[in-house]
Structure 1
Amino acid sequence: MSDTILTDAAAATAFRRLVAHLQHRTDVQNIDLMGAAGFCRNCLADWVAEADGAMDRDTAREVIHGMPFAQWKNQHQGDATPEQIARMKESVAKNADSH
């Protein structure tokens, strides 16, 4: 499918909905997102910073998390289990072909 089918307005609306959804679902750990989809909130923030060109990584993470990353991590992120880390590594390895 061509990117030209998706308008910038539709992409922006869907992106804002994704960000709101991720901010609401604090029960879903970044490590679990990495294990299932090969990306997480931090990845999304990095993509935003790269796309913006002028936004630094910390600002982008605050945009995506809805608060400073250190605060989000303190409130919502637990320690990763060995199983979560293994799933993440397996999932991230699949990303090599997507970029």
Structure 2
Amino acid sequence: MAKKSFAELINSPGMPVLVDFFADWCGPCKTMAPILEQVAAQHQGKLKIIKVDVDRNPAAAQQFRVQSIPTLILFHKGQPVWRQAGAVPAAQLTQAVQPFLS
């Protein structure tokens, strides 16, 4: 299977895409990992979550002006519709994505 570009990943038809901009060395990013897994499990088949390592993908981080990590950006039909810098509780994250779930 060919590797998809970032633009292709966030343009998922009919399904919002939550992008987690993170780094392996970032403590709050590690805190977010189980929260993202929980939200992914709750919304399986309705929400796509992708992780972008800012050290390995600086262009994607620059494109969306990610200045601190973790930064979460929710894309709906390829457009950013919600953004949060810093760790987010599962309940707040669920509340943010809910309006965009089909």
TM-score by length of 1: 0.30
More strand by share: 2
More helix by share: 1
Q: Relative contact order: is structure 1 or structure 2 higher (C-alpha 8 Å, sep ≥ 6)?
A: 2
Query: Which structure has the bigger radius of gyration?
Result: 1
